[in-house]
A and B are shown apart, each in its own frame.
Chain A
C-alpha cells in the first residue's frame, strides 16, 4: 500500500495553479515510502483512507503530469521521455506522437495548462478514476517564426476523465479521455 502521506493533503480549489503544485511535489519526492505489510488484512484495506487523500493523490499526480507536459511542449517536443514513469506506456506513446510533430514542424508551445473541478469518479483496488476540467486556453502554438498557429477552433476547456494507478511507490496517470457525456466544464 502506498503511503499517501507523501502527497500533500489539501482541499481542491476552484482553480489549481500547476507550477505551485509542482514545487510542492518536488519537495515531497525525496521522502521514502514507509514499510508495508503484506498481510491479508492489509490487502483488504481501501486504496485511500479518505476522499481527501484520494483527491490529493490525484491532484499531485495530474499536476505533475501537466507540468512535465508543458515543459516538453515549451521545448518543442524535445525529450518526451520525461513523461516516462509519470504516465502509462500507452499514454506516453500517444503524447510522444504529438511531440514528434512539434519537433518536425518546429512548433513550440507558450503558456501553461491548468485544471480545476477535480472530482472522484471511482476507486477500485489499485486505481482510481477522476473527473477534471483541463484548461488549455492559456497556451499558444508557435511556429519557427514565432507566429501563432494555434488551431482556430480548439476547445479551450475539456471535460476529462483520467485514471490514476497506484503502486507501492508511485501514482501514475494510466489513461486520459474526453468525457463523452454532458460537458460539465
Chain B
C-alpha cells in the first residue's frame, strides 16, 4: 500500500538533486539512486555510506604503511546532508540524525549510514452504484469508481519529495464470489447514453437476494521526484486500500396496478 522512499546515503541529497540522472562521474562517486517496487512499496536508495576508518595508518592494499597520522577523510559532496551538518554549509534540522564528527586520532570509527523514510500512500477510490444501495436480482447493477491521477507530497532529508499516482487498473470484488479487473473506472448510465440496468464494463448481475459488500481496489502506476526535478517512473504497481459499498439485492415481480403503488397502498394490484 505504502510507498516507502528509503534513502540511506550520506551523499543522497546530492543524488536527489539529479533526480535519477546518473553521470559516470556520479556513479564513480557512488551518488546515484535507484528505485524498485516490492510488496506494494517502492524503495529508493543510494548505496553510499561514509567510509569508516582508523587513526592508524590506512593504506591501499599493496602499499607499505608508514608514519602518516592519517584519519581517512570522507568525501563530502556539496549539498550533501553530511556536508551541511558538519557546519560547512548551513545546518539543517536533519542534522540531529548525523553522528558526531569522528574524534581525532587515535581511534577507530565505524562507517556512518544516514537514513530517512517517508511513506506515500495513494488515495482510495470512491465507489457508487446504480441504483444506489439496492438492486434487483438478475439485472445489471452499475458500479462507478472515482479515482484520478494525483500527487502525494512529503519531505525527505528536508527536501520536497513527491509521488505521482496514475490509475492503471481496477480490481472489483462484488461480494457474491464474482470478481473482475477493468481498465476503466466505470461511468453512470446516463453519461454513457444507456438505459437503466444496461450492461456496462463495470456492471455486475447478482443471481440471488441478499446484502452484498462490493469493493474496488485501484492499481496505480507510480513516479517520484525529489526537489522538483523530473518525474522518474517506478517499475511495478501499487494498490490502494479497498473501498466498499453495501448493495441490497431483492427480487422484483412485474404486476399491473391501477396507479402508482407508492402513492396509494390500496390501489388494485399493489
Interface residues of A (CB under 8 A from B): 65-66, 69-70, 72-73, 87, 90-91, 94-95, 97-101, 105, 107, 109, 113, 134, 136, 139-143, 145-155, 158-160, 175-183
Contact = CB atoms under 8 A, between A and B. Distances in A.
A137 to B, nearest CB: 10
B74 interface: yes
B11 A180 contact: no
Interface residues of B, number: 48
A181 B76 contact: no
B34 A158 contact: yes
Contacts of B178: none
Ranked 5 nearest A-B pairs via Cβ: A154-B30, A181-B235, A151-B30, A98-B25, A69-B24
B137 interface: no
Given A101-B77, A158-B34, A181-B236, 7 more contacts: A69-B23, A98-B26, A142-B60, A147-B72, A152-B49, A153-B48, A153-B113
A148 B78 contact: no
B25 A155 contact: no
A141 B27 CA distance: 12
Interface stretch (B51-59, B97-105, B146-154, B167-175): B51-59
Contacts of B18: 94
B29 interface: yes
B84 interface: no
A107 B30 CA distance: 14
Contacts of A177: 20-22, 232
Q: Is the interface of B mostly helix, strand, loop or mixed?
A: loop
A176 B78 contact: no
B75 A152 contact: no
A149 B36 contact: no
Given A147-B60, A151-B51, A180-B233, A73 B25 contact: yes
A152 to B, nearest CB: 4
A40 B36 CA distance: 44
B35 interface: yes
Contact of A146 (B29, B30, B60, B233): B60
A119 to B, nearest CB: 16
Nearest to A97: B78
8 contacts: A69-B24, A99-B25, A134-B27, A136-B30, A142-B60, A151-B48, A151-B50, A151-B51
B72 A143 contact: yes
A178 B34 contact: yes
A158 to B, nearest CB: 5
A154 B28 CA distance: 8
Given A147-B70, A149-B72, A153-B49, A180 B34 contact: yes
Contacts of A94: 18, 21, 23, 25-26
Nearest to A134: B27
A150 B51 contact: yes
Given A98-B77, A105-B76, A181-B36, A66 B24 contact: yes
Nearest to B73: A143
